[in-house]
Chain A
Amino acid sequence: EEMDVARQLITSDAGPACAVCHQLAAAEATGTLGPSLDQLKPDAQTVRAALLEGPGVMPEYGDKLTMEQMELISAYVAAVAGGGQP
């Protein structure tokens, strides 16, 4: 169920949704504006840091998502990036 929540945040709810800019095949995310998460294969810590800091032009999500939501996204991306199964 946590995976479903994470997937929902990534594909539509995060505002802007991760999927607008990033590719993540497991979530059927096909954005190309930013780096492909499937290629980057970040660990959870890297995803969390990116959400909090918004490197480059990536928005900061600290005021858009709760810490719990960011943890869910981080764990999910780390688990599935590069073609891993949720």
Chain B
Amino acid sequence: MDTPVVHRRHFLIGAAGVAVASTVPGMGGLAFAQEAIGTQAPTTPLPDYASWKKPEAMIVHTELTLETRRPFIGTSSVVPSNILFVRNNLEPPDSAIVADADAWEVAFEGVAQPRTMTVRELKQLGIATVPTVLQCSGNGRGLFDHEASGSPWLTGAAGCVVWSGVPLRAVVDALGGVAEGARFVTNTGGEVIPEGIDANEVLVERSVPIENVDTIILAWEMNGEPVPLAHGGPLRVIVPGYYGVNNVKYVKRIAFTEAESEADIQQTGYRVRPVGESGAPDQPSMWQMKVKSWVTHPVVETPSGPIQIHGVAFGGINPVQRVEVSTDDGQSWQEAQLLDPDLGRYAWRSFVLPVELPSGTYSITSRATDSEGNVQEQTTEPNHRGYDYSGWDRLAVEVTVL
């Protein structure tokens, strides 16, 4: 087991109020600041474009990065929009674009009949509804020891969301099919890039393998409402099972291409590499997500007696098969019950394990297995940018049973 480590950055998160929890020997490095997962009011105001979020549920890292506090995630599968995390790579465009959402235009290229279509036209081509886990590549960055640049997310840069929109396949069919030789779907965001900067340096343009053409949807609806500006409205590309960055917001161009995007965000950004190495195109891209789970209740303290330990689990592109829970720092495990509804392979699944625990301090964590037998890792080896900490060791919570 790792030695408990309390990072300086953990003290900074949600700075006000409660002192950092004391570390307990043998409790596997989980002693990160309890205030960050607690219920304290935020010290930084919400940005205007996300002012409709529930402030007490959010950690405001920057005006472009808002995290959901861990215990606010419930058991009914879908995360309400007003507590869903926000990670914008760039300042969102003017809100006028969602005021007249149906007029938003998207250029389709690399198809037999390239053309521009409005959202209004896309709505005539077909509709599919897909629940997916939306997770920022950097979720868990704050659990690594090396101080990677970027927001020190804990668990709250993730949420399960229901999207509605047109299947990309239906659009492609209407445009005469994909051009020969295409290997990627390359999607371009509609953020406004100022003068004085090479567009490729900051452009949000991501390519994913063309195999995803049959699962991608172009969504105009999220959790039953038009996609808000903060989440990429009027139209967002949803690549089920892929990290958040691939789900391009305000999409204005969808191209079937032979090569990956030339933008830095594709070529050198979002590449997994050892600490200290620069990003390069031959390193793995942050595409498919890993199997992962974490406990959402209890996370700080709870009365003794019957306790319902619950949390969420997902398998990236595969459904979750089982979840086990440990209350002794991973020394022993008990099978948790997966809760209904099952919203499909790309959604997360809530789980519960009823236990009775005497007074004391416990390291509680969970471990998921997907349908392919992939087991959630015990620890996540450091990677330069601090992407996706999935290890059950540091996703554990230190809970005091009163």
Q: A residues touching B (Cβ–Cβ < 8 Å)?
A: 16-17, 20-21, 31-36, 39-40, 45-46, 49-50, 52-60, 62
Contact with A along B64-93 (1 / 0, CB 8 A): 110000000000000000000000011100
Beyond A34-B64, A35-B63, A60-B268: 15 further Cβ-contacts under 8 Å? A16-B196, A20-B196, A21-B202, A33-B91, A33-B191, A34-B91, A39-B63, A49-B147, A50-B149, A50-B150, A53-B149, A55-B148, A57-B89, A57-B269, A60-B279
Task: Name the residue of chain A whose CB is nearest to the CB of B265.
Answer: A57
The reply to whether the CB of B393 lies closer than 8 angstroms to some CB of chain A is no
Once A57-B89, A57-B204 are accepted as A-B contacts, the answer to whether A20 and B194 lie under 8 Å apart by CB is yes
How many angstroms between the C-alpha atoms of A72 and B147 in the bound complex?
20
Which of B89, B147, B198 is in CB contact (< 8 Å) with A56? B89
Q: List 15 A-B contacts (CB under 8 A).
A: A16-B196, A21-B202, A32-B91, A35-B63, A39-B63, A40-B62, A46-B149, A52-B149, A53-B148, A53-B384, A54-B264, A56-B269, A57-B89, A57-B204, A60-B279
Q: Chain B residues with Cβ under 8 A from A32's Cβ? A: 91
CB neighbours (8 Å) of B44 from chain A are 39
- Whether A45 touches B147, Cβ cut-off 8 Å, given contacts A21-B202, A33-B202, A56-B89, is yes
Instruction: Give A53 to B276 CA distance when docked, in angstroms.
Output: 9
For residue B372, CB closer than 8 A to chain A, the reply is: no
B65 CB contacts on chain A under 8 angstroms = 35
The reply to whether B202 and A53 contact each other, CB–CB distance below 8 Å, is no
Residues of chain A within 8 A of B202, CB atoms compared: 21, 33, 57-59
Residues of B within 8 A of A55 (CB): 148-150, 385
Majority DSSP secondary structure for residues of B touching A: loop
From A55, which residue of chain B is reached at the shortest CB distance?
B150
CB nearest to B44 among chain A residues:
A39
Report the Cα distance A37→B197, complex, angstroms.
19
Question: B193's closest neighbor in chain A, by CB?
Answer: A33
Measured CB to CB, the closest approach of chain A to B315, in angstroms, equals 26
Query: B276-293 CB contact bits vs A (8 Å, 1 = yes)?
Result: 001100000000000000
Q: Does B203 contact A (CB under 8 A)?
A: yes
The CA-CA distance from A35 to B194 in the complex, in Å, is 15
The 8 closest A-B pairs by CB, nearest first: A55-B150, A35-B62, A49-B149, A53-B149, A16-B197, A55-B149, A57-B89, A57-B202
Whether A17 contacts B196 in the complex (CB less than 8 A), given A50-B149, A52-B149, A57-B90, comes out as yes
A52, B202: Cα distance in complex, Å:
15
B194 neighbours in A (Cβ, 8 Å): 20-21, 31, 33
- CB neighbours of B62 from chain A (8 A): 35-36, 39-40
B201 at the A interface (CB under 8 A): yes
